[in-house]
Structure 1
Amino acid sequence: MEGRDARPAGVPDPPVAVPGAVPAPSVGALSEALLAALEASTVPMFLTGPRRGGLRLEWMNAAFRGQVADGTHAVVGEPLSVLRDLVQEGPDIDPLRTAFDGGSAVQVVVHDVAADGELRWHQLSFSPVQAAGGSEHWLGVQVDVSDQVGEPSGERATVELSRRRMARLDLMTQVSSLLTDLDHPLVLREIADVLGRAVGCRIAFYMNDKGLVYAESVDVNTPPSSRIRTRHHPRHAAQSAPPEGRAWARDVVQDVLDGEDLGPVQVDLGDPYPPGSASDVLQRDVRSRLAADLTETVGVTVYPVPGRRRVLGLLVVVLEPGREFMPSLTPGTTLRSIARRAGMLIDTARLYAREHRLAETLQRAMLPEQADVTGLDVWTYYAPNSDHAQVGGDWYDVLQLTERDVGVVIGDVVGHDVEAAATMGQMRSVVRSYAFEMTLPGDVLERVDELVSGMRLPRASSLVYARLERLPVEPSQGEPLWELAYSRAGHLPPVLVRAGAARLLDGAAGTLIGYGPSVRATASLRLLPGDVLVFYTDGLIERRDRDLRAGLEALAAEAGAVSAVDAAGVGEQLLSRVGSTPEDDIAVVVVRVPDVRSDVVPTDGGPRSRRWLLPSEPTSIARARHAVVRTCQAWQVEGASQAELVASELVANAVMHGWGHVALRLFDTGRTLRIEVEDANPSPPVPTDGHVNRGGGYGMQIVERLADWGWRPTRTGKIVWAKLHGVSTFTGALRRVPDTGSSGQSS
């Protein structure tokens, strides 16, 4: 009609005002009233965001907050998956995923145990809600249906639930057993095989360590999850054109790796993904590795393997056409739980490995670089207890104080942690400072007491400090003598071995360092040629099945029976007889006064192995030669010059091309000598034809001519070994050992 507004079809005329009638509420008023009604409803309700946004919780009423969140969990803003952790048995997520992807309503039943222990059943209903602008939300409603579940059907449901739980528990037990051995080279593949047989599909792990790659094992040396990986998109991915008539699919795998989507997500093997993206990399590998024999398009579900701070990798599930998940399990919940457990254990193993490397590096850095000692045969040894991650408070030091004086100190800081190691480093520096400044050991410890009290070190420490002074040679005697002075601060007494008898040097005792300044005594005695001093920490003798006094008696008895005539041999014999099963860190220093007139080698010769730890510096090469020559003389081995040359070249190679301390070991194989040199450089030695225009480069050629040699990797570097040609070991007649003082260090 003319004069009336033209309205589109289907739009009603505005309401006509009726005199006396109540005005109709506005749309805004209706919305406020509806929101107030939903908030006050006794039926628990919540609203999520769209599927693309991860179904994040946007609103929940008071009834829902009171039941599932207890008013203490700030779950608004988090993904819908957070609700699964608030019930004892969550639903299978596959029907939910299908409904969400298709935009259709769905109902699932979950169960929980109330505070009184009663089993309760809840029905969750999800309905799509179209909001303004075409945005899709989901309304969730929770209804307690425990009373509607009849007794027979409830019993059947309970039996089925118990069966599912037992199947899931059995599967979790198998996987947990495999996860206890992450060092196994095929641990992830075995877990995937177990899971695949249980749920009836193909499963594989992909780790995001150096890019997203298929993984059969765990590299525990990879940094833990604090390190964030970059996205997989190539630099020019945006310039790549998608197939004609199609658009690039969203890189859902990268969203999972970045933690933006808690998963699981679907990867369609037919969708085009940006080249080089995480989804593209995974899609290509799944096609070739897991679905190469399948002709139809298969469904691929991706679960995150989360660590503490980032996603470590993916658990990829390939469901073959025509097959379904095993009905005895709730696959979604089970696989997610296993992926989460695997991620936490992998992250823990990597964290422990990193701390272990850090602790070992710290401990190695604090090992003293022993000085050459003139006129004495010195051997040192340190071995941390593996249970303490190679960090301990045991320490030692050997100092060439003057041309005629030598200092020896051994100590133990209370505790086995980084703090104990740090205190040990400070104590070593303090003792070194006063040892060069003062003469009497008692005076040195008094000054250490005073300084430590001012420094407020957190740990107490025991130690023995000894000073050996070389006396002038008397023409009538023809032998150098040494004067020993020592003082003890709560530490075990050193052992003196003389003429086959051992006794404890228990004089000059005092309290631990760290309990305040105190007067310190000094005890002294004269050392004769052939005397042996053994300094040690309690790890050498302390055992759970005996008291400390019995351990001291055992040490004295074994020290008196030692037959070796070199410091290294004495130390090796004591370790094999007393310290073979240590329960704590061990530090040992053996000092022997050589005796030219009476040093002979008994037929047994003691343990036929020696070891020394040397600093990575050129002086260690000469020290290694000296140690090998003296050992060959002690073992009555002909061909000491050949062994000396091979050891010299191997140690020189480690000093020049390696790093860290150098470990030298010598073994009597029964037929020949075997020399081993270890350093922290994992790169293997390579024989060369020498260096042009400069000397050197022929070391390994020399070794090849004199020995069979090889190398093997270790956890901290490598070991290069050599078996000598034409050198036979034997124990013949007694043989005199020349008077040559030597120093060695073992670990």
Structure 2
Amino acid sequence: MVVVNSHAPEWPLATPSDAPAGVAAELLAEALRATLVPTALLTASAEAVRVAWVNDALVAASGYAPNRVAALDVLTDRRVRPADVPAARAAFAAGVPFAQRVVLRRPDGAYVQCMAHVSPVGVAGLGVGAWVVALQDLTSQLTEHAEHTAVVEAERRERRSVTLIARVSDLLMDVDEPQGLREIASLLTAEVVGWAGFYLHDRGLWAADGLDPRRPGGAPRPDAQSRRLPTSGPRDPVGRLLGGRLDDAVELDLAAAQPDGTYAEWLATHAGPGPGDAVVGRDGRRAVGPPDRRVVVLPVPGRRRTLGLLVVQPRGGGGLAALDASTVQVLELVARRVGLSIDNVRLYDREHRLAETLQRAMLPEQGEVDGVDVWTYYSPSADDAQVGGDWYDVQQIGPDTVGVVVGDVVGHDVEAAAAMGQLRSVVRSYSVDITTPGPVLERVDQLFGSLRIPRAASLVLSTLDREPEGRWSLRYARAGHLPVLHVRDGHATQLRDAGGPLIGFGSGERATAQVLLEPGDVLVYYTDGLVERRDRSLRDGLTVLETVAAGITARDAPGIGEDLVSRLADHPEDDVAVVVVRVPDPDDHLRGTTSPRRRRWTLPSEPASIARARHAVVRTCEAWDVADPSNAELVVSELVANAVLHGWGHVALQLHDTGDGLRIEVEDSNPTPPVTTDGHPGRVGGFGMQIVERLSDWGWRQSRGGKVVWAKVRPGALPRSAYDDD
């Protein structure tokens, strides 16, 4: 508040010769001049409060020479800024001491924060008198406070960043494109930016809030159509980000015109918050999309290429300049973690598809076996890579000999599937030359060791030879595998004979056991996934299997298999492979069974599957006592033909008796929906679906592996349901 005035009139305190107590006054004057506390004397009147005298400490603090501030009015001069001028005037008028915050402007333009402590000396009020002012420099305190505030703010931002990254990491543990990316974008919008969105670069750019075009049925939304765009030059910074030529965030004005045919043009058209989208402003409140359309674009890097973009709108607009360094660092870290997670998910997905394709290619398709009723089933574990070492094989070795084998190679990966394929080929080739199971396993032991397969494997191998009067002779040998279940007249027995060590560990002869099968007998081959659970022992699981199998009333292999799977393998904890073999009984009476009215088959994508599907429908209608299956046979023929002609991968056929008709479901790996033509001669294909439409109610739905086309044959086409006589 006060600056020095070396030309002020002489004061009694400063002239010890005139003072009554000269020595004391002189010492006091010297003390005021020598003190390190900036001190001044003021005169106060109704017109002004002026500087009368200052000490050397105040000269040093203010930076002004004494002649620059002679008679300075401390309440009106721009070099002195009291915090509350009216309050200061009132205190001077009342003649009472007071303290007030004051800012001094130095000659170099710097400002000094002070606390002025003002007390009256001599005559009080606005009469002639003096006021003493002592200034307390607050610079160090304010600097320390500012530094402490900055440290606290930095720690707060750091905690916020760590918390945000931790929450993003939690979301990435179960990232499901694009749902997981939408959740992360929502989290960024709530915590650090006004709006955020992910755009993935895979067969063109597409928004992660649309459907993934790489997945079945994943055609993106109309406003986010995937299209290939050329990677442009310097005029397209977004293209340079995607091409890996830029690593840092770039600013893009979505409202500005962008070069034609560039990624920047695509983003300007499709990216950013829409007119009705909610964004977060600077005050943290939600508002409708701001007029400022500048966004910040960051790359989402993968291991080998840029996988996409993270586009953010700063709160309140402002583009890249509105984001501080810590926010940009958080966004870059989130983008890197998202990219790594997407890379891992896609790598896992590719390995899974490769292994599953490899395994299913090596699993045999269920063929028609002369003289016995056979049903096969395989389901990978959903908790693993959905691929494993379980396998089965059913082969017609000769006109009167059938070979059946079920095995298990330890593991759930590509290596397990490859080992399973090698073992299956070896067993199949030896079984053709040597029809006795024990010697076959001996040969397999010898070759298995030379192949150096690093996985343990178990299996049960059997041959069925036709005997007179509808009987079959079963010969079998086990290599560390669970026993085959033999069911006869409601009694289940485990065939535990002819056991031996795992494949590759046998060093001597392997035994062969024999059982004579009567008409109506059932054999159940299975892997441990059917019976083993975490909450029960394997022995208890086998007991449950015996109980369930003994109580099944179905009289065909598919019915028995479906019943077993529905009761024991609804939620398997491991891979499940099942083969059911039933010796037909001419005296079977099918009515009154409590077996589930559901059947399923896996067919290869080849024309021969059409005839197999028709045969399966006819056999199922016979088993369910469904009259006149001709229309159902025609419908399934058209559906399977379409799947073979227009789809790819395996074809899955399922039949359901709904009580008022037969429901047919055919699944293939092509997500494209079926269409019917309008009968115009220029149209190609689609006439089969017209036939289906005439004979049934039909529709389709997306499935995990492609699509399912279903048809329910109308009651008029199936006059008598299987439930009519139940």
Q: Quick one: distance in 1 between partners of 2:259 and 2:725?
A: 80
Check whether the contact 1:251–1:274 (CA below 8 A) recurs between aligned residues: yes
- Counterpart residue identity of residue 240, structure 2: D
Q: CA deviation at 1:290?
A: 7.8
Structure 1, 532-541 or 638-647: larger mean CA deviation: 638-647
Count of matched residue positions in the alignment of Structure 1 and Structure 2: 563
Question: What are the within-5 Å matches in structure 2 for residues 213-228 of structure 1?
Answer: 213-217=206-210, 219=212, 221=214
Deviations 1:393-422 (A, max 9, x none): 100011111111111111111111111100
Code of the aligned partner of 2:514: S
Matching residue's letter, 1:526: L
Change (3 A) 1:303 1:538: same
1-structure distance, mates of 2:572, 2:472: 33
Q: Secondary structure at the match of 2:558?
A: helix
CA distance in 2, matches of 1:482, 1:488: 19
Of residues 145, 148, 152 in structure 2, which corresponds to 1:159? 152
Mark the CA change 1:691 to 1:430 in structure 2 (over 3 Å): closer, same or farther: farther
Quote the residue 1:226 is aligned against: none
Q: Does residue 607 of structure 1 match 2:596? A: yes
- 1:58 matched residue in structure 2: none
Q: State the 1:187 CA deviation.
A: 5.1
Contact 1:563 1:605 in 2 (8 A): yes
Q: Which residue number corresponds to residue 299 of structure 2?
A: 304
Matches of 1:356 and 1:719, distance apart in 2 = 22
Q: 2:240 corresponds to which residue?
A: 255
The unaligned stretches of length 5 or more in structure 2 are 1-139, 217-226, 278-287
- C-alpha separation between the residues in 1 aligned to 2:652 and 2:270? 45
Q: What are the Cα deviations for residues 124-143 of structure 1, in whole angstroms up to 9, with x where unaligned?
A: xxxxxxxxxxxxxxxxxxxx
Q: 1:625 aligns to what?
A: 614
Q: In the TM superposition, what whole-angstrom CA distance separates every residue of 1:708-735 from its partner, at most 9, and x where no partner exists?
A: 111222232221111011235343558x
- Does the alignment pair 1:564 with 2:564? no
Tell me if structure 1 keeps the 8 A contact 2:189–2:196: yes
Question: Which one of 414, 428, 433 corresponds to residue 432 of structure 1?
Answer: 428
Report the Cα offset of residue 692 of structure 1: 7.8
- 2:230 paired residue number: 232
Task: State the structure with more CA Rg.
Answer: 2
**1:201 aligned residue:** 194
Q: Secondary structure at the match of 1:357?
A: helix
Quick one: which of 449, 453, 457 aligns to 1:453? Answer: 449
Distance 2:317 2:544 in 1: 73
Distance 1:460 1:298, change over 3 A: closer
Match of 2:674 among 672, 685, 688: 685
Aligned CA distance change for structure 1 residues 454 and 648 (closer, same or farther; 3 Å):
same
Cα contact 2:177–2:208 (8 A) shared by 1: no
In structure 2, distance between residues paired with 1:153 and 1:461: 71
Contact 1:536–1:589 (Cα < 8 Å) also in 2: yes
Aligned equivalent of 2:627, options 621, 638, 644:
638
Aligned equivalents of 2:604, 2:289: Cα separation in 1: 60
Matched, 1:210 2:203: yes
Structure 1: segments with no counterpart, 5+ residues? 1-146, 224-228, 238-248, 474-478, 735-747
- The SS at the match of 2:383 is helix
Pick closer, same or farther for the CA change 1:707–1:545 going to 2, 3 Å: same
Indicate how the Cα distance of structure 1 residues 337 and 641 shifts in structure 2: closer, same or farther if over 3 A, else same: same
Q: TM-score, normalised by structure 1?
A: 0.68
Match of 1:652 in 2: 641
**In 2 relative to 1, CA 306–505 (structure 1 residues): closer, same or farther, beyond 3 Å?**
same
SS in 1 for 2:711: strand
SS of the residue aligned with 1:681? Answer: coil
- State the alpha-carbon separation in 1 of the partners of residues 668 and 515 from structure 2: 40
Deviation string for 1:423-479 (max 9, x for gaps)? Answer: 1111111111111111211111111112212222222211111111112x3xxxxx3
Question: Which residues in structure 2 correspond to 1:171-210 (within 5 Å)?
Answer: 171-172=164-165, 175-176=168-169, 179=172, 182-183=175-176, 188-189=181-182, 191-210=184-203
Cα-to-partner distance string for 1:34-84 (whole Å, 9 max, x where unaligned): xxxxxxxxxxxxxxxxxxxxxxxxxxxxxxxxxxxxxxxxxxxxxxxxxxx
Alpha carbons 2:657, 2:722 under 8 Å: kept: no
Cα distance change, pair 548–611 in 1 and its aligned pair in 2 (3 A) = same
| Per-residue deviation, 1:496 | 0.7
Between the aligned partners of 2:192 and 2:698, the Cα distance in structure 1 is: 52
User: Deviations 1:497-545 (Å, cap 9, x if unpaired)?
Assistant: 1111111111111111122543111111211111111111111111112
Residues 296 and 319 in structure 2, CA contact (< 8 A), matched pair in contact too: no
- Which structure has more RCO (C-alpha within 8 Å, separation ≥ 6)? 1
Task: Rate the CA distance shift 1:341–1:372 in 2: closer, same or farther, 3 A.
Answer: same
Aligned counterparts of 1:153 and 1:652: Cα–Cα separation in 2: 78
Summarize the Cα distance change of 1:707–1:269 in structure 2 as closer, same or farther, 3 Å threshold: closer
Conserved? CA contact 1:220–1:350, under 8 Å: no
- The answer to whether 1:534 aligns with 2:524 is yes
Match of 2:690 among 701, 711, 723: 701
* Pair 1:265-2:254 in alignment: no
Q: How does 1:380-391 map to 2 (within 5 A)?
A: 380-391=376-387
Distance 2:228 2:320 in 1: 36
Q: CA 1:299 to 1:582, structure 2 compared with 1: closer, same or farther past 3 Å?
A: closer
> Any residues of structure 2 matched to 1:72-471 within 5 Å, and which?
155-172=148-165, 175-176=168-169, 179=172, 182-183=175-176, 188-189=181-182, 191-217=184-210, 219=212, 221=214, 232-233=230-231, 250-267=235-252, 274-283=259-268, 299-319=294-314, 320=316, 330-471=326-467
Write out per-residue CA displacement over residues 140-168 of structure 1, whole angstroms, 9 at most, x where no aligned residue.
Answer: xxxxxxx9998766543443233223333
Q: Would the aligned equivalents of 2:359 and 2:417 in 1 still touch at CA under 8 Å?
A: yes
State which drifts further: 677-686 or 583-592: 677-686
TM-superposed deviation, 1:273: 6.0
Greater Cα offset, 583-592 or 455-464: 455-464
* 1:184 to 1:364, Cα distance in 2 relative to 1, 3 A: same
Structure 2 counterpart of 1:464, one-letter code:
V
Q: Which residue of 1 aligns with 2:723?
A: 731
Distance in 2 (alpha carbons) for counterparts of 1:190 and 1:620: 44
